Amino acid sequence: YKGMNFLVRFAVFGGVFDTVHKGHIRAAEIVDSCLHPDVLLFVPAGRPPHKRGRRINTCADRLNMLKIAVENAFGNRAVVCDFEVNSSELSYTANTLAHLKAVYGSDSEHFFAIGADNIAKFRTWHRPDIIRALSTLAVVARPGFDQSSAKLAFPESVICEGESVRISSTFIRRLASEGQDFSQYLPEGVDEYIKKRGLYPKEVTDPEEIKRFLSAHVKEPRIKHTLNVRDEAVKLAQKYGADARKAEIAALIHDVAKN
Ligand code: ATP
Ligand code: MG
């Protein structure tokens, strides 16, 4: 679009997208039908400043999942932007919008979409003043959060009316860790990718279940060795005041992939 002689309206969707879900797609549909942007631009975060405590899936996997989801939903009107995932810096929306403005210049207008859960948090983001100067906030409802406070907090924002769905990536990751099926919450094509890549595995913390896995996949002398290591690890944990259960699990899995 660069250099063309007309105004291009971008709706920008930032997020971690670990994993992308139907709630994201629905939110984008709401923004789309309210604002009629020319381009739906999805920007997955590379190093999200707000999620430093948790391990997130790789940029490549989150990018691929998002590409599958938005291409199926919006075809070539949607673009997944790799600006943040290709940067080693912390991912700040203010920087990303400045980059977009530098690339597309005065030919472009940017809406930055946020779910209502981000209204209160927005002030803790990096340089909210720059975000508001470079874009118009487009606020989408999110079940469980108050959308009406947006106009008070940001009078210039646009409220995008439409019924969103109660899904979060956190909820999906929890289902996954418990070994429950979460495919119904995923946009078309994403479930297949997750299965192929083995993402979001069930978390196994039951020693008996680990031992059953060992019996099926590890050779007998090594199982004996593993159980001895387990006994020693538990003893050491008790002696030094560490968590004996964690020590037991760590010892049981320490050679699990050897064979
Ligand atoms: P997590 O639970 O890990 O925070 P999430 O489901 O909130 O994940 P994010 O990647 O954090 O997903 O969200 C990206 C953007 O999409 C945010 O602006 C968020 O408010 C919005 N969003 C996410 N889920 C929904 C939903 N169900 N309805 C409306 N907006 C949503
Ligand atoms: Mg979130």
Q: What is the rounded CA–CA span in Å between residue 159 and residue 152? A: 11
Kindly calculate the radius of gyration of the chain based on its CA atoms and give it in whole angstroms: 23
Phi, psi of 80 (to 5 degrees): -100, 120
Q: State pLDDT tens for residues 123-168.
A: 999 999 999 999 999 999 999 999 989 999 999 999 999 999 999 9
Q: Answer yes or no: is the C-beta of 66 below 6 A from any ligand 1 atom.
A: no
**Ligand 1 pocket, residue 11 CB under 6 Å:** no
Asked if 16 and 62 touch (Cβ cutoff 8 Å), the reply is: yes
From 55, 168, 170, mutation site for ligand 1 pocket: most ligand atoms within 8 A of C-beta: 168
The verdict on the CB of residue 167 being under 6 Å from ligand 1 is yes
Asked whether the predicted pLDDT for residue 105 surpasses 90, the reply is no
Pocket test for ligand 1, best of 91, 167, 169, 175 (most atoms within 8 A of CB): 169
Whether 142 is in the pocket of ligand 1, judged by its Cβ within 6 Å, is: yes
User: Measured between alpha carbons, how far is 174 from 196 in angstroms, rounded to an integer?
Assistant: 20
Q: If you ran DSSP here, which 8-state letter would residue 5 be given?
A: S
Q: What single-letter DSSP state applies at residue 145?
A: S
Whole-angstrom Cα distance, residue 157 to residue 159? 7
pLDDT band at 172 (very low <50, low <70, confident <90, very high): very high
Q: Residue 197 pLDDT > 90, yes or no?
A: yes
Q: Say how many residues make up the chain.
A: 259
Taking residues 193-212, report their average pLDDT.
95
Q: Could you read off the pLDDT of 49-92 as tens digits, one per residue?
A: 987 678 899 999 999 999 999 999 999 999 999 999 999 999 99
What is the pLDDT averaged over residues 242-258?
A: 96
Q: What are phi and psi of 140, to 5 degrees?
A: -105, 145
Whether ligand 1 lies within 6 angstroms of the CB of 57 is answered as no
Q: Rounded to two decimals, what is the model's pTM?
A: 0.89
CA distance 74 to 100: 21
Per-residue pLDDT tens digits for 111-123: 999 999 999 999 9
* Distance (Å, whole) CA 259 – CA 247: 22
What token pair was written down for 202? 């069930």
